[in-house]
Amino acid sequence: MLTLYEHPFALYCQKVLIALNEQGIAYDVLEEQRDFDRAELAELWPPASIPVLRDGDQVIGETSIIIEHVAGARLVPSLEARKWDRLCDQYVSDAVQAIVFDTIYERFDERAVSQARGRLDMAYGMLEAQLAGHEFLAGDTLTIADCAAAPGLFYALAIHPWDEGTHPHLTRYYRALAQRPSFAKVIADARPYRHLFPLPWPADFDRYH
Ligand SMILES: N[C@@H](CCC(=O)N[C@@H](CS)C(=O)NCC(=O)O)C(=O)O
């Protein structure tokens, strides 16, 4: 049996949860703060980032590697899928984290936050252009790239929403992802933790969900 060390409200954990749900893979959950803390996790996985997957004797960190481990070519079928997975992690999810962590860790670094917002705008443009010609990021089927995009866009929507008028394809794409059972479950399971978010949560946030 697989065991996932995770937290339902953590962006990168949601990426793996979507992949597991998509594939109908059974797993046990250990939830941060309830079942383990970061010091305990560091003994297993020194970076102590979440999620971490335990599969028998194997301890696997890094979401893209976890997804490749559990799903292989079913979710990582092409170089294109890997490319968009990397782009979504680096320019959407990491930009979101830079903005959120700026508040959590009281850095108040306006330049860094502004750069992160610029990266999000750049990423929205890239996604819009790609999605104009494809249902999903890497073609006609859902891949690791969409597992990466969904939670990044979820949090991006809360702090730096894209303009729906100039991004109709991105809007269509996110709306469809949000209706998909694998991601809808993740959104529902994370809902009780929204009070943990350190920035204002928009009143109209659930318009897509
Ligand atoms: N590149 C990592 C990123 C994982 C990551 O940033 N996880 C966040 C939670 S969503 C984390 O644990 N951050 C470190 C911290 O909160 O101290 C991956 O893909 O697994």
DSSP assignment of 26-67, as one string? -EEEEEBTTTB-HHHHHHHSTT--S-EEEETTEEEESHHHHH
pLDDT, mean over the chain: 97
pLDDT for the residue numbered 199 = 95
Q: Is the CB of 178 under 6 A from ligand 1?
A: no
pLDDT digits (tens, 9 = 90+) for 81-114: 999 999 999 999 999 999 999 999 999 999 999 9
- Cα(127) to ligand 1 centroid in Å equals 23
DSSP track, 83-109: HHHHHIIIIIIHHHHHHHHHHHTT---
Neighbours of 79 (CB within 10 A): 9
Helix axes 63-71, 11-23, angle to 10 degrees: 10
pLDDT for the residue numbered 130 = 98
Burial of 135 (0-12, 13-18, 19+ CB in 10 A): middle
Task: Give residue 3's pLDDT band: very low, low, confident or very high (50, 70, 90).
Answer: very high
Q: Is the CB of 12 under 6 A from ligand 1?
A: yes
pLDDT for the residue numbered 188 = 97
Q: Is the CB of 50 under 6 A from ligand 1?
A: yes
Instruction: Catalogue all structural domains in the chain, each as residue range(s) with its CATH number.
Output: 2-73 (3.40.30.10), 76-184 (1.20.1050.10)
CA-nearest residue, atom 14 of ligand 1: 49
pLDDT digits (tens, 9 = 90+) for 36-62: 999 999 999 999 999 999 999 999 999
pLDDT for the residue numbered 35 = 98
CA-wise closest residue to 60 among 124, 137, 122, 5:
5
- Of the residues 38, 44, 50, which should be mutated to test ligand 1's pocket, given the most ligand atoms within 8 Å of the CB? 50
Longest dimension (CA), the chain: 50
CA-nearest residue, atom 12 of ligand 1: 49
pLDDT digits (tens, 9 = 90+) for 158-183: 999 999 999 999 999 999 999 999 99
Q: Are 12 and 63 in contact (CB under 8 A)?
A: yes
| Alpha carbons 144 and 160: distance in angstroms, whole number | 23
Q: Report phi then psi at 4, rounded to 5.
A: -110, 120
pLDDT digits (tens, 9 = 90+) for 114-144: 999 999 999 999 999 999 999 999 999 999 9
Lay out the sheet containing 27-31: strands in order across: 27-31, 2-6, 52-55, 58-61
pTM: 0.98
pLDDT for the residue numbered 13 = 98
SS3 (DSSP) at 127: helix
pLDDT for the residue numbered 62 = 98
Q: Is the CB of 11 under 6 A from ligand 1?
A: yes
